[in-house]
């Protein structure tokens, strides 16, 4: 290997080392500079931990295969040195891309109120794992305990969704309940738009944080906007204004925006179909709509959201246990 190239790799690995104590101290100081900075530091710390975990995993894999290279003349201390640097850099890049999803789980666990993209740990569906295992023929034995509910303090801060104009207000107690209740609406909307009901549900889950972050009116009522469709000049109905996060040139920024408000969730699903069908930029997405994965990718390319990870987040929801259980229950 060229010495200059090796020296460059070493410098790069040192500057981005997952064990860089100086960067950890910088994260600690950043977390003391306000709520938004604290959340950003949490995300970076979670990615840092995922890098360490991935690095240990790769190291264990290398050691497990050492016996096969015992007589290999190329298996020298220099080779191992560069392999270690490569593994360290690879683990850092994989963590940044969210390949394992471990950082997401850490953010969920350590964010008591949740985030715009992740459900708070107290609302994660413990029963989802049991449902998935039971569907695979695995007997699940649990002690009889009261049905898990979200803490009352959290529910009081969640604006209740109205399923129809004559229904009572409703708050989802878990992601699984959220999907079950909205599945019939998603199926109807998907049929009208000729798309996959699974992606429609995944969007509703992502945009609202499984129903826990629905935009509210100044009076504290739900806007029932489960797809976070903004109110532009073409919209003549009710609106709500709130702070939102958008990405510009890869940078996340906060801005004030106006969103559509509906009398019920049913109206939100109906307007979602109309919104997609009336916008030419979503034509290509609708053409591949039956394919849940392609539909998610085309939505991002068409600019449905500015988040560069929007499609990947939808895919993670689509592959989750809760969604798999719903797809089997409703047959889509």
Q: Which residues are catalytic?
A: 246, 271
Judge contact between 30 and 37, C-beta under 8 A: yes
Helix H or strand E segment including 243: strand 239-248
**How does DSSP classify residue 124?**
S
Judge contact between 226 and 208, C-beta under 8 A: yes
CA angle 320/321/324 to nearest 5° reads: 90
With the C-alpha atoms ordered 98, 100, 103, 107, is the resulting torsion angle positive or negative?
Answer: positive
Q: What share of the chain is helix, strand, coil (3-state, %, to 5)?
A: 55, 10, 35
**How does DSSP classify residue 181?**
H
| Residue 260 burial (10 A CB sphere; 0-12, 13-18, 19+) | buried
* Lookup: tokens for 318: 């689509």
Judge contact between 145 and 189, C-beta under 8 A: no
Judge contact between 32 and 39, C-beta under 8 A: no
Q: What are phi and psi of 164, to 5 degrees?
A: -155, 165
Task: Please name which of 62, 41, 51, 43 lies closest in space to residue 20, comparing C-alpha atoms.
Answer: 51
Neighbours of 91 (CB within 10 A): 23
Q: What are phi and psi of 4, to 5 degrees?
A: -65, -40
Task: Report the distance separating Cα 47 and Cα 102, nearest Å.
Answer: 8
Task: Please name which of 173, 195, 174 lies closest in space to residue 186, comparing C-alpha atoms.
Answer: 195
């Amino acid at each position: 290997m060229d010495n200059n190239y090796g020296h460059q790799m070493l410098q790069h690995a040192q500057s981005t080392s997952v064990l860089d104590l100086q960067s950890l101290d910088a994260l600690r100081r950043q977390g003391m500079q306000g709520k938004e900075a604290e959340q950003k530091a949490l995300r970076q710390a979670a990615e840092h931990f995922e890098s360490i975990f991935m690095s240990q995993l790769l190291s264990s894999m290398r050691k497990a295969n050492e016996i096969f290279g015992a007589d290999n003349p190329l298996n020298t201390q220099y080779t191992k040195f560069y392999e270690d640097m490569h593994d360290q850099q690879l683990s850092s890049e994989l963590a940044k891309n969210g390949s394992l999803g471990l950082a997401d789980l850490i953010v969920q666990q350590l964010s008591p109120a949740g985030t715009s993209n992740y459900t708070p740990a107290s609302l994660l569906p413990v029963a989802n794992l049991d449902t998935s295992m039971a569907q695979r023929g695995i007997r699940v034995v649990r002690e009889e305990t009261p049905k898990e509910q979200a803490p009352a303090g959290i529910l009081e801060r969640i604006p209740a969704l109205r399923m129809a104009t004559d229904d009572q207000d409703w708050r989802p107690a878990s992601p699984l309940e959220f999907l079950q209740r909205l599945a019939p609406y998603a199926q109807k909307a998907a049929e009208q738009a000729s798309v996959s009901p699974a992606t429609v549900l995944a969007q509703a889950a992502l945009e609202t944080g499984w129903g826990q972050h629905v935009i509210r009116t100044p009076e504290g009522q739900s806007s029932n906007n489960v797809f976070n469709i903004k109110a532009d000049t073409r919209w003549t109905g009710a609106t709500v204004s709130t702070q939102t996060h958008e990405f510009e040139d890869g940078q996340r920024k906060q801005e004030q925006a106006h969103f559509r408000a509906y009398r019920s969730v049913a109206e939100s699903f109906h307007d979602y179909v109309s919104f997609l069908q009336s916008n030419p930029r979503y034509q290509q997405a609708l053409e591949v709509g039956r394919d849940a994965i392609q539909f998610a990718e085309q939505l991002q390319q068409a600019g449905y959201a500015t988040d560069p990870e929007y499609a990947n987040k939808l895919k993670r929801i689509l592959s989750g246990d809760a969604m798999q259980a719903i797809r089997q229950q409703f047959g889509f």
